[in-house]
Structure 1
């Protein structure tokens, strides 16, 4: 088996790079959705959600950089054009969303898509003993699961 400088299978790394680029594309669409939600949110929950969406997009921006750098570490080239992002994304594009519950539901649905991709990457990276990618995916998954729980709690009608 041919290995790269990290001691990982070159063939397996290429598959993982493709999956990481898929994740990168989805994160870029998610990030841009969050920017739009931040700019366009209206209503009585404006102040809370405006700040929360900014927190989310700042966090996403950091994750995007980590994903791209992992692609580079594994010997690949991160996707970097909007056309690549759109053609590889499963996340719904949120356009002109200003209502609070619709905005939060978009975030929940987007995080669910990201989790599915991250779990697939976690399985691949685990199978090939890629602890660097494994660790990153584990961190992302734990944080996003908690965020989904909190957003679902926010969506519940209070008694």
Structure 2
């Protein structure tokens, strides 16, 4: 995917949020159907591809967060849970933390996701959960 196919789009709601705009026509963009297949199969070598799902608005972010929530709730393999937590930490939270904290529906889903991930005894998952919580708490302290 070339750099010209990715741009930040500002949307105004209660606050102004930036969404990573990857057009569904862009080479390398991942369709929702492909993302659903990845989340169903949960191959750890493919999960990182979810960062190429176009997120152009609140509904797209809500769909991806809900899909990750469902996948994490159903997961039994620690390696897959770690990859999903990694995706949250390195892609979703840095890009959308304000939206995740300011929108009640997303905030509740993130709380659930972090609670479920925190039940794992894997040290790496616990570290990622702590780091995600820290990043989200920084948003709360800013008062957004």
Interval containing the TM-score (normalised by the shorter chain): 0.3 to 0.5
Greater relative contact order, per chain length (Cα 8 Å cut-off, separation 6+): 1
Select the structure that is richer in strand: 2
TM-score, normalised to structure 1, is 0.32
Structure index of larger Rg: 1
